[in-house]
A and B are shown apart, each in its own frame.
Chain A
Amino acid sequence: MTTIDWIVLLLTIFFIVAYGTWKTRKTQSAETYLKGDNTLKWWMMGISIMATQASAITFLSTPGQAIEDGMRFLQFYFGLPLAMVIISVTMVPIYYRLKVYTAYEYLESRFDLKTRSLTALLFLVLRGLSAGITLFAPALVLSTILKLPIFITTLFIGTLVIVYVVAGGTKAVSITQRQQMAVIMGGMILAGILAFHLIPADVSFSDTVRIAGEMGKFNLVNLEFNISDRYNIWSGLIAGTFLFLSYFGTDQSQVGRYLGGTSVTESRLSLMFNGLLKIPMQFIILFIGVLVYVFYLFVQPPVFHNRVLLDRAVQTHLGDSIKHYEERFSEVHAKKRLAVDQLVSAIKEKNEESIKAAGELTKTFQEEERVLRDSVKSKIALAIPGAKNQDRDYMFLNFVLSNLPHGIIGLLLAVMFSAAMSSMAGELNALATTTSVDIYRRNFKPTASDAHYLKASRFFTVGWALLAMVFAMLANFAENLIQFVNIVGSLFYGTILGVFLTAFYLKRVGGTAVFWAAILAECIVLYCYKFTDIAFLLYNIIGCLSVMIYASIFQLFLPAPADKP
């Protein structure tokens, strides 16, 4: 990091925060603060929806996922367009007709207060945990890369978000997300172009794609059905649809985004926008990871991408052993490099037999490298007990810092900070709205003035932000971060979605039946997580169907609910 990088980083971040705060400084009513002023166009809401979903974890973890595991993670998003269509048809018109602030308000008009409060509480637990992880992930990686204590990066991101979300609420979130998305996508595409230009000049774009293909990185669609496999077309289309239905249809951090529009048409169009662009966006991010992978075939990567942790481990009594592995890693990479050169020559000569042979040889050395990397990870775990010895989340940023020109490094760090801030802002806004509307106003203070609710909403925003910051400072995760976020979501989303689908489609089921069914379903999902090896995406289906089935059964033993609009 040089002065120019710091200037680019700080100017970008402070401009966005200052602009969002200044543009929304006149927010003076609770409705505008919590809901916006219903003036947003479809493309503004569409960008806001994408920015809320795409946290810093997306841009830190996803390229690393492609480097190690290929592009198969793309299948996770196949259910998203289906979910967008279903939400447009069913949920959007209902939310508009009832003029709700939050999705959970609808549940009281359909069922009762206890079901609304239970669902809102499940959301608060889920989103509160996620907000902590959303902040923890970039704070950890950036603190390591910038060699700063984690509380500094946490405090920096958290405080900036508090400033503009407290000032302008929903509208500030939406306005800043436009600039943040522009920085994010511009920065990522630039990184991809530069990564390609760093690959030797005699390797063309089609050669690059062919090399990546030979190395198994284009594993985009797997048709095989396997219940334990996290990513295949079926888990993406079926379980993914349930997950995205829950996320976009019942999670206030997303519902709040598309309820800010001028009409049903604008809200629906914003969802169509997301349905059309989300998969290509993820493809681009994964493909950038593939380009970095090909670059590292020609240039030796570090044996472990979290260099700060590696340096610490080298200084312990296991240092000599780790250095020995590093030397062997260099030797293996030198041999792999020769095999890659053979592969490039074979591709240029279009000799399929030679391509296959050189490809297999490269894979053999790659496997040797992997074994050595695993050995280094084990040594680090022994040298520094409790340290996070997974380095996937560091791969992309490490590549940026080691290989891209100064100025661009600052921009790419601004991408990570922007992504962290945009998703955290959306989450805080949703947490504050739900706490204020569904819990505080409905259960504790139903008749206070508008000024009181505005003040309370700002107070809840700060409260949730502080909670997320404390969580981020104390947390420690061994799992790949983007997967951890999705696992946490899958633990609760199925149940929440089940309550909503029961409300929409099981008209004879009443509040008491669905309330107890939701509690039972959540217990079943938590049991599956703790005691089975079922792929986490399937928790969404299990939770959702459990609520619907048990609610129908319980209703058989309960009096019929009174007719409601």
Chain B
Amino acid sequence: MNESEKPPLFKSWLGWYVLVLGVLVLQIVLYRILTVAFS
């Protein structure tokens, strides 16, 4: 098991972490817009 294995798609794991957290933020914004639009 090599801990420093490179991840696919991105140069480092940071890219994956930003992607996952970015998608989370986008979802929260989208769901908030839906909440406000229908409140």
B7 A220 Cβ-Cβ under 8 A: no
In A223-253, the 8 Å CB interface with B consists of: 223, 233
| Closest A residue, CB atoms, query B27 | A279
Cα A400 to Cα B13 in complex, Å, equals 43
Q: Distance in Å from the Cβ of B12 to the closest Cβ of chain A? A: 12
Q: Does A480 contact B (CB under 8 A)?
A: no
Q: Distance in Å from the Cβ of A461 to the closest Cβ of chain B? A: 27
Cα A122 to Cα B37 in complex, Å, equals 45
Q: Does A82 contact B (CB under 8 A)?
A: yes
Cα A408 to Cα B8 in complex, Å, equals 39
| Closest A residue, CB atoms, query B17 | A85
| Closest A residue, CB atoms, query B22 | A81
Among A211-219, A323-331, A524-532, A550-558, the stretch that binds chain B is A211-219
**At the interface, is chain A mostly helix, strand, loop or mixed?**
helix
| Closest B residue, CB atoms, query A209 | B38
B28 A81 Cβ-Cβ under 8 A: no
B3 A268 Cβ-Cβ under 8 A: no
Q: Distance in Å from the Cβ of A452 to the closest Cβ of chain B? A: 28
Q: What chain B residues lie within 8 Å of A283 (beta carbons)?
A: 31
Cα A540 to Cα B18 in complex, Å, equals 26
In B6-33, the 8 Å CB interface with A consists of: 6-8, 13, 16-17, 19-21, 23-24, 27-28, 31-32
A264 B28 Cβ-Cβ under 8 A: no
Contact digits for A81-110, partner B, Cβ 8 Å, 1 yes 0 no: 110110011000100110100000000000
| Closest B residue, CB atoms, query A99 | B1
Q: What chain B residues lie within 8 Å of A264 (beta carbons)?
A: 1-3, 5
From the candidates B8, B21, B31, name the one contacting A85 in the complex (CB within 8 A): B21
Q: Distance in Å from the Cβ of B25 to the closest Cβ of chain A? A: 9
Q: What chain A residues lie within 8 Å of B13 (beta carbons)?
A: 88-89, 268
From the candidates A212, A233, A272, name the one contacting B28 in the complex (CB within 8 A): A233
A97 B7 Cβ-Cβ under 8 A: no
Chain B: number of interface residues, binned into ranges: 20 to 34
Q: What chain A residues lie within 8 Å of B2 (beta carbons)?
A: 263-264
Q: What chain B residues lie within 8 Å of A85 (beta carbons)?
A: 17, 20-21
B20 A275 Cβ-Cβ under 8 A: yes
**At the interface, is chain B mostly helix, strand, loop or mixed?**
helix
Q: What chain B residues lie within 8 Å of A216 (beta carbons)?
A: 38-39
Contact digits for A108-148, partner B, Cβ 8 Å, 1 yes 0 no: 00000000000000000000000000000000000000000
| Closest A residue, CB atoms, query B1 | A96
Q: What chain A residues lie within 8 Å of B5 (beta carbons)?
A: 263-265
Q: What chain B residues lie within 8 Å of A93 (beta carbons)?
A: 3
Q: What chain A residues lie within 8 Å of B3 (beta carbons)?
A: 93, 96-97, 264
Q: What chain A residues lie within 8 Å of B19 (beta carbons)?
A: 272, 276
Cα A269 to Cα B1 in complex, Å, equals 15
From known contacts A96-B1, A264-B2, infer whether A218 and B20 are also in contact, taking CB-CB under 8 Å: no
A218 B34 Cβ-Cβ under 8 A: yes
Cα A214 to Cα B34 in complex, Å, equals 12
Cα A212 to Cα B34 in complex, Å, equals 11
A81 B35 Cβ-Cβ under 8 A: no
In A254-280, the 8 Å CB interface with B consists of: 263-265, 268-269, 272, 275-276, 279-280
A268 B16 Cβ-Cβ under 8 A: yes
Q: What chain A residues lie within 8 Å of B17 (beta carbons)?
A: 85, 88-89
B20 A81 Cβ-Cβ under 8 A: yes
| Closest A residue, CB atoms, query B25 | A81
Cα A96 to Cα B1 in complex, Å, equals 7
From known contacts A214-B38, A264-B1, A265-B5, infer whether A82 and B32 are also in contact, taking CB-CB under 8 Å: no
B28 A84 Cβ-Cβ under 8 A: no
Q: Distance in Å from the Cβ of B19 to the closest Cβ of chain A? A: 8
Cα A89 to Cα B35 in complex, Å, equals 33
Q: Does A78 contact B (CB under 8 A)?
A: yes
Q: Distance in Å from the Cβ of B6 to the closest Cβ of chain A? A: 8
B35 A272 Cβ-Cβ under 8 A: no
Cα A279 to Cα B21 in complex, Å, equals 12
Q: Does A221 contact B (CB under 8 A)?
A: yes
| Closest B residue, CB atoms, query A81 | B24
Q: Does A74 contact B (CB under 8 A)?
A: yes
| Closest B residue, CB atoms, query A233 | B28
Q: Distance in Å from the Cβ of B8 to the closest Cβ of chain A? A: 7
Across the A-B interface, the 3 shortest Cβ-Cβ residue pairs: A213-B38, A220-B31, A221-B32
A-B contact pairs, 15 of them (CB 8 A): A81-B20, A81-B21, A81-B23, A85-B21, A88-B16, A93-B3, A96-B3, A218-B35, A221-B31, A264-B5, A265-B5, A268-B7, A268-B13, A268-B16, A279-B27
Known contacts A264-B3, A283-B31; 20 additional CB pairs below 8 A are A81-B24, A89-B13, A96-B3, A220-B31, A220-B34, A220-B35, A222-B35, A263-B1, A264-B1, A265-B8, A268-B13, A269-B8, A269-B16, A272-B19, A272-B20, A275-B24, A276-B19, A276-B20, A276-B23, A279-B27
Q: B residues bordering A, Cβ < 8 Å?
A: 1-3, 5-8, 13, 16-17, 19-21, 23-24, 27-28, 31-32, 34-35, 37-39
